[in-house]
Amino acid sequence: MTGLTNADTSQGDNRDGCPLCKIAQREVLEEYPRWRLARTKTMKGHRERLMLFHREHLKTLDEQSIGEAYLLLMGIGSRFFSYVTEWAIFEPVYATVPNHWHRVASDLDTKADDYKQILKTPRTIIDSERGSIHRADPIEQITDESKPKES
Ligand SMILES: [Zn+2]
């Protein structure tokens, strides 16, 4: 989705050391014909934090597959994130596993450990109350969310 051409699509290169390929079956929450759903290893202070990844070790996917993944994740999120009205799917700019296609989704808890990183990550925000979906791009200045505390 970035439009970058990956001359080095090292697909399959690090399959053996790939944590998503090696994931234990007990860590898989749900399975689909082309995808697996798991909880992320680090929750970063969120009540729920999920990861949907392709069953195969592929670095890049075609647009149609990405669309399928997002649709699937939106359905999954409506169940797993039912405790909040807003949650988001993040683009993998800070991904620790860049060679295996996946998307992380979490609530938008402002007290979470990675909230500042969330603001710097292009994300798709799902608002279940309004039934709306919108994209949010990184903002440079954090103003509204972190008002200086008066003491
Ligand atoms: Zn892999």
What's the CA-to-centroid distance between 84 and ligand 1, angstroms? Answer: 31
Encoded tokens for 145: 């969310």
CA 135 vs. chain centroid, Å, equals: 13
pLDDT tens, 12-33? 466 888 999 999 999 999 999 9
CATH topology of domain 15-83+96-136: HIT family, subunit A (3.30.428)
Q: Measure 129 CA to ligand 1 centroid, in angstroms.
A: 35
Q: Distance from the CA of 17 to the center of ligand 1, in angstroms?
A: 8
Residue type, 80: F
pLDDT band (50, 70, 90) for residue 148: low
Please tell me what DSSP assigns to residue 26: G
- Tell me which residue has tokens 């200086």: 148
> From ligand 1's centre to the CA of 38, what distance in Å?
14
CA of 100 to the centre of ligand 1 (A): 5
**What mean pLDDT, rounded, does the chain reach?**
87
Spacing, Cα 54 to ligand 1 middle (Å): 8
Q: Of all residues in the chain, what percent are helix, strand and coil, respectively (each to 5)? A: 20, 25, 55
Please state, in angstroms and rounded to a whole number, the distance separating the CA atoms of residues 113 and 94: 14
Query: DSSP secondary structure string, 70-133?
Result: HHHHHHHHHHHTTTSSEEEEE-GGG-S-TTS-EEEEEE--TTSTTHHHHHTS-EEEEETTTTEE
Residues 28-48: tens digit of each pLDDT:
999 999 999 999 999 999 999
Cα 126 to chain centroid, rounded: 12
State how far the alpha carbon of 6 is from the alpha carbons of 45, 59, 132, in Å.
34, 9, 33
Question: Could you state, in order of their start, the residue ranges of all structural domains in the chain?
Answer: 15-83+96-136
